[in-house]
Structure 1
Amino acid sequence: MSIDARMPVWDRRLCFAEPVRAAPDATFAAIRRVDFFRSPLIGIPNRARVGFDRTFRRAGTTPEPPRRFGFDQLLTDDGGFHLVEEDPGREIVLGFVGRWWERGYGRVEWDPARFPDLDLRGVGVGGWSFTVLPYATDSVLVTEIRVRCTDDEARRQFARYWTLVGRFVSAMGRPVLRLVRAEAEASGAPAPKPATVGREPRR
């Protein structure tokens, strides 16, 4: 997978998989259409974070909480991600670089072409991938998060941050996949079941 080539070394890694009753191309297309805020587990804490930022920053410096948050919003300035690589129909890899333990996630400017071999010190380099694997006439959707810290100080800061938020990030993994699965399966007729080989089972 592309994330293996792009980010072979990491300090933290999460990986989740979900079977999807839809063809691989339908599953891949659904990744870009889904609204992540349709899941309360994702929407509520993220809207709360925006509200917190609005409360503790000067008025007018933080945008209104978005009503929708999908793939395109991840790639905006507020989303903070860059598209690192895309293998159409198979895999998308996003990157994020910053100091997550600081207010506003300590975002920094970086060149996606140099991901993840950045010479920035004191930051975390994050990779987030969606991979669609064919399975008979259906598909399996895999999402993976990897984080690499660029020095020992960043590693210490990130470890403290992860102690607080790691369980919540982990809890969001499967809901994200289920949203994509529902979108893919609702986008058209389900993929046909493979023919049964041998005798019909007894009823």
Structure 2
Amino acid sequence: MVTTPSPLLADRFAPRPEFGRTDLIVVDADPATAWKSLRGLDLTELRGGLAALAVWVRDAPERVRGRPARTPTRLTWNDLDAGTDWMILGENPGQEIVLAAVGKFWRPVVKWMPCEPRDFPDFAEPGYGKVVWSFTALPYGDRRTLFSSEIRVTLTDPRAWVSFRRYWRISTPAIALIARSVLRTAKNDAERP
């Protein structure tokens, strides 16, 4: 039987987050099947119209500025790592994957800060936020799995903290929609016969 990794990788990369949220869902599939579904998830196939709307609204400032809309045909965790400002910080195969990004998320058009995974833990340039987004798939009873999505945010200085706090209050419902949609989509894929 697989046990919960201790500490979680998220604990290593964001041990004392200033903001965060966790979402959970029980999957009627064994952990290996559930993990395969979560790890192979294509984010372009997220279920839930409200999650798509949340992403569309977040990208609106880019469209207003006349920047072409990015519509990937496929977007897996590895695609995020290779083609965006998000990075995979680590993985416990079969149990947990941790992604992260550095930026000024509270701006209408996010100002991303390029960062390598090895530099993420020590990144401290003033004015930025560091977000860690982890997903786990752990045994839940005999034949089920508990999926979790946890978002942890730390800020590099008090001014960034104040700016992010305002953004967090407004954006948390949309962030929750997206996180739950990721979990629901992976659950549906894992439970499909």
In which range does the TM-score fall when normalised by the shorter chain? 0.7 to 0.9
Q: Of the candidates 82, 90, 93, which is equivalent to residue 87 of structure 2?
A: 82
Query: Which position in structure 2 is the counterpart of 1:180?
Result: 186
Residue 65 in structure 1 maps to residue 71 in structure 2:
yes
1:1-203 matches, cutoff 5 A = 1-36=8-43, 37-57=46-66, 61-66=67-72, 68-78=74-84, 80-135=85-140, 136-186=142-192, 188=193
Deviation, 1:111, is 1.8
Q: CA RMSD in A?
A: 2.0
Unpaired runs of 5+ residues, structure 1, are 189-203
TM superposition shift of 1:67? 5.0
Moved more, 20-29 or 165-174: 165-174
Aligned residues: 183
User: Which of 40-49 and 91-100 deviates more?
Assistant: 40-49
Question: Helix, strand or coil for the counterpart of 2:110?
Answer: helix
8 Å CA contact 2:61–2:109 kept in 1: the answer is no
CA offsets 1:15-47 (integer angstroms, 9 cap, x no match): 111111111111111123334433212112213
Unaligned runs of 5+ in 2: 1-7
1:158-197 deviation per Cα after TM superposition (whole angstroms, max 9, x unaligned): 01111221222123332221111001111x4xxxxxxxxx
Please report the TM-score for the alignment, with normalisation by the length of structure 2. Answer: 0.85
- Determine which structure has more spread, i.e. the larger CA radius of gyration: 1
Tell me the percent identity. 30
Residues 52 and 114 from structure 1, CA distance in 2 versus in 1: closer, same or farther, beyond 3 angstroms? closer
TM-score by length of 1: 0.81
List per-residue Cα deviations over 1:67-117 (Å, max 9, x = no partner).
554434432444x21000011101000001100122431101112113232
